[in-house]
Amino acid sequence: MKVRPEYFSWALERRERYGVAIPKRDAYSLIGHVGGDGFAHAYASGKYCTAEAIQQSSIREQCEALAELLVDHARNTLDLSAAQRIGTQLGWAPERIAALQQETLAMFRVETYSEKDPWSCDNVHDLNEFAALQARSGEVAAARAAIQKSGKSIPQLAQEQIASVQREAEEDCFKSGGTLTKCPGGGAMCAR
């Protein structure tokens, strides 16, 4: 796995700005993670920045710096998801967590926009443009550009993504011969 040097400069900048040491091992795992399997993100959010661990001020400071770093310089949605999880453990305002969750859903929406004819010239052009930007700048930058280009708000795209996923789940349930049962408090379950 090759790590881009600018990932470490971001970690070093955070350390200098906040006076918090981010262990090189964690900066490498989280900021330099390019494998896409999510293991490094799960490690930081599930093993290192736990509710119990952040009771220690030094670990709390490291986790805060790491979460801010992931929000500010996310290259993919795994980075944003890890930041959300760590931020939740740190007690970030629910509005901030909800805004990150909505932005992530909006990103998924513009990445999988299903209302377009997938083989139209315009759509193929847009997909090629998205892929080129994603290769240059990362998933998050490409998705943010696509959100802006869509002309829709983040909450609107997030709602569309939720509705799209629910429709797909319902269709899959019915195709498999199941029946959909609504759950108390929202959501549904497919009984086969």
Does 87 lie in the same domain as 12?
yes
Q: Which domain holds residue 122?
A: 108-191
Does 113 lie in the same domain as 83?
no
Does 178 lie in the same domain as 122?
yes
The answer to whether residue 100 sits within a structural domain is no
The highest-confidence range among 3-17, 20-34, 63-77, 143-157, by mean pLDDT, is: 143-157
Q: Which pLDDT value is given to residue 31?
A: 43
Task: Determine contact, residues 64/106, Cβ cutoff 8 Å.
Answer: no
Q: For residue 189, what are the β-bridge partners?
A: 181
The answer to whether residue 73 sits within a structural domain is yes
**Which of 62, 92, 122 is a domain's end point?**
92
Chain-centre distance for alpha carbon 148: 17
The answer to whether residue 101 sits within a structural domain is no
pLDDT tens for each residue of 81-137: 889 999 999 999 999 999 999 999 999 999 876 566 778 888 888 888 888 898 898
Give the global pTM: 0.72
Does 58 lie in the same domain as 113?
no
pLDDT (average), residues 144-171? 91
Does 88 lie in the same domain as 64?
yes
Crossing angle of the two packed helices 24-31 and 5-18, in degrees rounded to 10: 130
Q: Which pLDDT value is given to residue 75?
A: 85
